[in-house]
Amino acid sequence: MPNKPAIHAHVSDVAHDAWHDFAANNGVSVSAMIEALAPCLKENPTLMTLQDVVMAARKIDAARRRSRGRKKKVE
């Protein structure tokens, strides 16, 4: 995986569980959810629905899986 900046946060147990439960229930990773939120935060946060974020996160996770698969074949 390319060297990317990291976001670290200390959150309550309730918030931690909520993020991970939501991500698992929607078939995405928490990091993809955070990345999917970025464009909407920068452009217009009122236009993006939670479902839009989930769909974008799925695309991000899929692209990451494909990228990791190509790297393993090259090695």
Q: What is the pLDDT of residues 9-66, one digit of tens each?
A: 899 999 999 999 999 999 999 999 999 888 877 777 677 788 888 998 999 999 988 8
Tokens representing 38? Answer: 């970025």
Measured between alpha carbons, how far apart are the two ends of the chain, in Å? Answer: 13
Residue 70 pLDDT: 67
Residue 2 is predicted with a pLDDT of 62
Domain boundary assignment for the chain: 29-74
Distances in Å between the Cα of 24 and the Cα atoms of 15, 28, 29 are: 14, 6, 7
Flag whether the pTM goes above 0.85: no
